[in-house]
Chains A and B, each alone.
Chain A
């Protein structure tokens, strides 16, 4: 391909960007070989912005405008197997429609980047944020990173290909940003230079590509009962190797950007007695409540989980096991059981002391206010030991 990229100047100070625009800028700088995508609220501005970059000659990506998300992931699987760096994006029903192919992409060990704008699942149809869409893919074998704001969305989109394509990993990565709260909210975002990102992600390389005619392969074939189990075990092994790779990539990113990340973010939890565990944008509000309660002398903290898959049990246990009480705030439900984050946390703390409470909040974009978070902490401090799931802000 002879088209060249019109470079954006290397030094970019903070720009006012939505999470969606930030993700699109990361994609422009990565300049994937192929992006196959279908629009869906609230993911649309990611791909709309990126399409404009391609149309304006700021990225040389081959855009495939497919007819559905099922096709988007099918095309991505074909493209990634052929040997092309590939990305896609989706949300909600789109993710649900894509789900069988998400499993296939993960099982075929294809390092595809997925930008997700988290949105509730139908029915009733709802375009606002919760995590029930990406939780659908919880067991699919993709790496799942939940970000708190537009800056994290940009940063993890830049890191995603490097994590996904690492020879020990070779798995798709989902960068999940809360629909509207992050995707449509403008914040100051500090970007790297185009050249810096290009050098950071490097050349795309996978061990076997279909277009490598010197080493012909068949990909995505059939397994009898004598080998299927072994291939599933390989996926678990790849996931087990992610934490080390994630750390390396985050450390390299720190050297480049000055922004240090970890698979979890403990906030004032070191000396806390009571903590909240949470995913995504709400962590920002919880931190503010923690600051206010700390001013009143309450020993509270919050643990934000960025990497939900893999779930870094040891690290999480280290921060939580000595607390007196923990409230896990889930923004999705597993009907008939507890929230998915709660079941993880309770499993990893099963032989420890803390009292555990499960709260469901924010389904279908229901706002969560600081005073409601404060109530959660106050109940914990009061020694509430109820085992029942509570619903914050639900009329009951």
Chain B
């Protein structure tokens, strides 16, 4: 936030935002008490959650579902809403989970 504001001739024209030059805001701080959790045993790898996540907070490994990146997940629940097998549930923020938001064994 403390970066100096740039002059008109130092920024891309037309308001274009160049993805590689953008500092991603850590939208994970926006969550209001709930986070997604996945039960991998129920996941059918349809990747609907990955497509629908507005913050690219659903991680994949090549073409396989991997889990969540809580740094960017703002808790919108779209993943849980679109999950056809209810593998994704919204849970209380303080509930412990395994790596990548996977349900504790």
Contacts and interface: CB of A to CB of B under 8 A. Distances in A.
Interface of A: 107-110, 170, 207-208, 215-221, 223, 226-227, 229-231, 233-234, 237-238
B105 interface: no
11 contacts: A109-B14, A170-B14, A207-B16, A215-B20, A217-B19, A221-B15, A226-B5, A230-B6, A231-B13, A231-B14, A231-B15
Nearest to B14: A109
Most A CB atoms within 10 A — which of B6, B11, B12? B12
A103 to B, nearest CB: 12
Contacts of A208: 12, 16, 18
A224 to B, nearest CB: 10
B13 A109 contact: yes
A234 B14 CA distance: 8
B24 to A, nearest CB: 12
A217 B14 CA distance: 12
User: Ordered nearest first, which 3 A-B pairs have the shortest CB separation?
Assistant: A109-B14, A230-B8, A216-B19
Most B CB atoms within 10 A — which of A107, A223, A231? A231
Interface string B11-42: 11111111110000000000000000000000
A230 B11 contact: yes
A215 B16 CA distance: 12
Interface of B: 5-9, 11-20
Contacts of B19: 215-218
Contacts of B17: 217-219, 221
A109 B17 CA distance: 13
B5 to A, nearest CB: 6
A216 B20 contact: yes
Given A226-B5, A230-B6, A218 B16 contact: yes
A234 B16 contact: no
Contact of B13 (A221, A229, A234): A234
Given A107-B15, A207-B16, A217-B19, 9 more contacts: A107-B14, A109-B13, A170-B13, A215-B20, A216-B19, A218-B19, A227-B15, A233-B8, A237-B8
A220 B14 CA distance: 7
B15 A108 contact: yes
A230 B20 CA distance: 21
B18 A234 contact: no
A350 to B, nearest CB: 28
A40 to B, nearest CB: 28
Given A231-B8, A237-B8, A237-B9, A215 B18 contact: yes
